[in-house]
Amino acid sequence: MISTLSLNDAQSLINYAINWATTNEKTIAVAVVDAAGELIAFNRMDASSPQTCLLAQNKAYTAARDRQKTSDLAKWALSTNKTINFWTDARITGMAGGVPIADAKSLVIGGLGISGMDEFEDEKLAQRSIEYVLSSRREN
């Protein structure tokens, strides 16, 4: 059972996402953080914009710190008339593409953030990456 994210786990998540993006002719940046939102690993493809790089890291940070997908946070903020300033944390983002990473007991052990495509494509790729990498790690 995975209870923490190792550097190897983080690099596997990044490699899966970048391989998918390369195959599909997309350009992305990918960040993996621990449960506190601290960066474990980051990579960007050639031609990734500085904004894309920052967003990937902030999406991962938000997903880990808030323990939910960034798109769910955005929905909640809209439904309660909250602005992003509610969190008093400049790194919190409501853009889709950040997904929490949970262990077998559903405890959040980190976050994965992807940026560079449509934000909901970013989220789908993040979810696929987590499912693929962590399921293969649990089998070993």
Alpha helix stretches (DSSP H) within 24-69: 50-66
In this prediction, residue 77 carries a pLDDT of: 74
60-100 pLDDT tens trace: 999 999 999 998 887 777 777 777 676 678 888 888 999 99
pLDDT at 135: 79
The residue-averaged pLDDT of 27-49 equals: 97
Tokens of 89: 């944390």
Helical (H) or strand (E) element with 42 = strand 39-44
**Position 17 pLDDT exceeds 60:** yes
* pTM reported for the whole predicted model: 0.90
pLDDT of 39-56, one tens digit each? Answer: 999 999 999 999 999 999
Q: Which of 2, 7, 29 is nearest to 109 (CA)?
A: 2
What is the token pair recorded at 57?
A: 């890291």
The DSSP bridge pattern shows strands 29-34 and 39-44 to be: antiparallel
